[in-house]
Amino acid sequence: MKEILLVGGGGHCKSVIDVIEQEGNYNIVGIVDKKEFIGQEVLGYKIIGCDDDLEELFLKYKYALVTVGQIKSNTLRVKLFTILKKIGYELPVIVSPLAYVSKYAKVEEGTVVLHNALINANASVGVNCIVNTKALIEHDATIDEHCHISTATVINGGVTVKANSFIGSNTTTKEYIVLDGFNRAGKLLK
């Protein structure tokens, strides 16, 4: 089994750990977080280093994943993704076995698809995205890089979500619109 580092040890990390364990393709070797947290554990996985240790850890581990969430801003997620790519880490796509991704859909590196999410035919999801629990991305939708499609959100057919956007929980979009930016939650977007 391939060994993987998780970068970020907060709440989103816990959800990703659960998906990785369920998926069974990677062995989590440790978590990278703030220096003051080294030695602590997240769901039984030790925090083994901080961001300054990523280059040294690359000598031993080749796979990593950004497990910092995105609510107020995705700046840290983008920064960490960029650092990991520059060092040379491979950032896999992680898909819960309880999710469905159409064989006609495209999901790019570093993206996590959580439990009961659905990505339909001809949809496209860019790098370093979070497709959260019970999210639906319908046919022909495009989710650009570094986006968070939050829990129980419905992105209807033909919608484009521009890079760095956050679409909050329970949001439902109208078909064939363009979203750019931040939506807190629970609104119909038209």
144-173 mean pLDDT: 96
| Superfamily for the 94-189 domain | Hexapeptide repeat proteins (2.160.10.10)
The pLDDT assigned to 183 comes to 64
The C-alpha atoms of residue 136 and residue 156 are separated, in whole angstroms, by: 8
- Percent of the chain surpassing pLDDT 70: 95
Q: Which CATH architecture has domain 2-87?
A: 3-Layer(aba) Sandwich (3.40)
Is residue 172 scored above 70 in pLDDT? yes
Tokens of 36: 């003051």
Any idea where the domains of the chain sit in the sequence? 2-87, 94-189
Q: What is the mean pLDDT of the chain?
A: 95
pLDDT digits (tens, 9 = 90+) for 84-114: 999 999 999 999 999 999 999 999 999 999 9
Ranges of H-type helices in the chain:
11-23, 54-58, 75-87
Grade residue 72 by pLDDT with cuts at 50, 70 and 90: confident
| Selected residue with higher pLDDT from 133 and 189 | 133
145-154 mean pLDDT: 97
The pLDDT assigned to 71 comes to 73
Is residue 184 scored above 60 in pLDDT? no
Is residue 188 scored above 90 in pLDDT? no
pLDDT digits (tens, 9 = 90+) for 127-147: 999 999 999 999 999 999 999
pLDDT digits (tens, 9 = 90+) for 25-40: 999 999 999 999 999 9
The C-alpha atoms of residue 156 and residue 140 are separated, in whole angstroms, by: 9
Inter-residue contact 28 to 17 (CB < 8 Å): yes
Grade residue 190 by pLDDT with cuts at 50, 70 and 90: low
Q: Which residue has the tokens 């919608």?
A: 159
Grade residue 73 by pLDDT with cuts at 50, 70 and 90: confident
The C-alpha atoms of residue 106 and residue 120 are separated, in whole angstroms, by: 10
The pLDDT assigned to 189 comes to 57
First vs last Cα of the chain: how many Å apart?
A: 45
CA-angle at 84, arms to 30 and 150, nearest 5°: 80
Is residue 64 scored above 60 in pLDDT? yes
